[in-house]
Structure 1
Amino acid sequence: MARVRLSVAERREELLRAAVGQIEERGVVAVRIADVASALGVSNALVLYHFSTKEKLVAAAFAHAAEGDLAELGKLLGRRTTALRRLRSAVRWYAPTGPAKGWRLWIEGWAAALREPALREVTRDLDRRWKAALAEVIEEGVAAGEFRCPDPSATALRLTALLDGLAVQLTSYGGAGAGAVSRTRAQEWVDEALARELGLDTGTPSTGPAQSSS
């Protein structure tokens, strides 16, 4: 059967999805243009037509993955419910114990960003936008009287630092072995940190009505 002819935008999207998959499987250093081409059954020349170097392909693949993550975050934070429920939902989705995929990809990206300026800007932009989105919903919760938080930006930074650190632990060590963090324990720490940052009783139910702080 002949391949369906794709538009430039569709082909680029297909190549980026394949590149993300290959980076997750092989790692940034080991992945080659040929791996991406082989995954789709196309020529190396086609990949190079759209992305002239491996470095540009990798940076674009991470940017593509970042936009996907941010789009999902936007859906979670845009729901018609309390700020507390939206915040908990987003944090649990993003946490390494939640349904969010791609932690191996982002750990690869952080490591590669130490050497690649273009990739470093992609990871910085994702980090900035994620923190800004969390800070915004925290500000909404404070304004609505759902909880207390004197510095939403600092809280967003501390929460993401905890989540990123736990992701490295769980992805690298798999929650097994002496001193390793279990998934259950990690989720407990995330819930406790969120409650502490917002001045909530740690017994506040995650799915129940938000507790107002007076």
Structure 2
Amino acid sequence: MARVKKEPDARREQILAATLELITERGINGVRASDVAGRLSVSPGLVFYHFDTLEKLIVSAFRSATERDLAKLETLLTTRDGTMTERLHVALQEYGPTGAAPSWQLWIEGWSASLRNPELRAVIRTLDNRWRAVITDLVALGVASGEFTTSDPRGVAWRLTAMLDGLAVQRVAFDEAISGTDVANWTRSAIASELGVKP
């Protein structure tokens, strides 16, 4: 049976998906190009054809995961009616360790590896800031509509996401030391406290 040739974009996406799976399973330091190739039954040369170095592959995988998650969030926000409070809850649920995006095990790995990899650190900072920009915009829209009360939408976004970052570490890295219900309840309380809405 003849092998079906993959289009370059489709093959790149497969390589990125396999890389993300392996990072989640083994950590960044445990991923080699030969592992990615083996998972896809291709040669390591094909991996390096699409991504010059392992470092570029790792960075591209993080970028791909975040783009996918931000696209999903945009779809959720544009197809859902409701108050700004409800829309903010949707965004924070996706951001936090109770939602699908991002894979927190992946992000914790990325934070750790970025301490020694300036290129990865720069990419993760940029991607993280894009998430915070979405939250900042939602808070600002809520203020403009009169639903939220704050003079500092950016500060609110940073405090809410920083809280969720910390809760994610507790939930993911420490064997679910807190529950998803805890995260949801504390997020509601934080929104109420920060923005003057009922919890």
Do the structures match in fold with TM over 0.5? yes
Q: Which residue of 1 aligns with 2:17?
A: 17
- Once the two structures are superposed, the pairs formed by residues 125-140 of structure 1 within 5 Å of their partners are 125-140=126-141
Whether 1:81 aligns to 2:82 is: yes
Conservation of the 8 A alpha-carbon contact between 1:141 and 1:147:
yes
Q: Which residue of 1 aligns with 2:163?
A: 162
Total equivalences in the alignment: 198
Q: Which amino acid aligns with 1:171?
A: V
Larger helix proportion, structure 1 or 2?
Answer: 2
The range that moved more, 146-155 or 3-12, is: 3-12
Conservation of the 8 A alpha-carbon contact between 2:59 and 2:123:
yes
**Alpha-carbon distance between aligned partners in 1 of 2:21 and 2:11, rounded to the nearest angstrom:** 15
- Once the two structures are superposed, the pairs formed by residues 48-63 of structure 1 within 5 Å of their partners are 48-63=48-63
Give the superposition deviation at 1:35.
Answer: 0.8
Query: Could you report, residue by residue, the CA deviation over 1:109-136 in whole angstroms, capped at 9, with x for unpaired residues?
Result: 1111111122112111111111111111
- Once the two structures are superposed, the pairs formed by residues 92-171 of structure 1 within 5 Å of their partners are 92-171=93-172
Whether 1:195 aligns to 2:197 is: no
Unpaired segments ≥5 residues, structure 2? none
Give the superposition deviation at 1:22.
Answer: 0.9
Conservation of the 8 A alpha-carbon contact between 1:107 and 1:168:
yes
Fraction of identical pairs, as percent: 50
Distance 1:191 1:22, change over 3 A: same
Whether 1:29 aligns to 2:26 is: no
Conservation of the 8 A alpha-carbon contact between 2:28 and 2:110:
yes
Whether 1:181 aligns to 2:182 is: no
Query: Could you report, residue by residue, the CA deviation over 1:13-68 in whole angstroms, capped at 9, with x for unpaired residues?
Result: 11111111111111100111111001100011111111121111111111111111
**Alpha-carbon distance between aligned partners in 1 of 2:81 and 2:183, rounded to the nearest angstrom:** 28
Give the superposition deviation at 1:70.
Answer: 1.2
Conservation of the 8 A alpha-carbon contact between 1:63 and 1:122:
yes
Give the superposition deviation at 1:182.
Answer: 3.0
**TM-score scaled by length of structure 2:** 0.93
Distance 1:124 1:54, change over 3 A: same
Q: Which amino acid aligns with 1:66?
A: T
**Alpha-carbon distance between aligned partners in 2 of 1:16 and 1:91, rounded to the nearest angstrom:** 26
**Alpha-carbon distance between aligned partners in 1 of 2:49 and 2:100, rounded to the nearest angstrom:** 35
**TM-score scaled by length of structure 1:** 0.87
**Alpha-carbon distance between aligned partners in 2 of 1:95 and 1:86, rounded to the nearest angstrom:** 14
CA RMSD of aligned residues (A): 1.4
Query: Could you report, residue by residue, the CA deviation over 1:50-91 in whole angstroms, capped at 9, with x for unpaired residues?
Result: 112111111111111111111122123323433221111111
**Alpha-carbon distance between aligned partners in 2 of 1:185 and 1:70, rounded to the nearest angstrom:** 24
Distance 1:65 1:99, change over 3 A: closer
**Alpha-carbon distance between aligned partners in 2 of 1:44 and 1:77, rounded to the nearest angstrom:** 40
Give the superposition deviation at 1:101.
Answer: 5.0
SS in structure 2 at match of 1:167: helix
Conservation of the 8 A alpha-carbon contact between 1:77 and 1:137:
no
Conservation of the 8 A alpha-carbon contact between 2:147 and 2:197:
no
Give the superposition deviation at 1:145.
Answer: 1.2
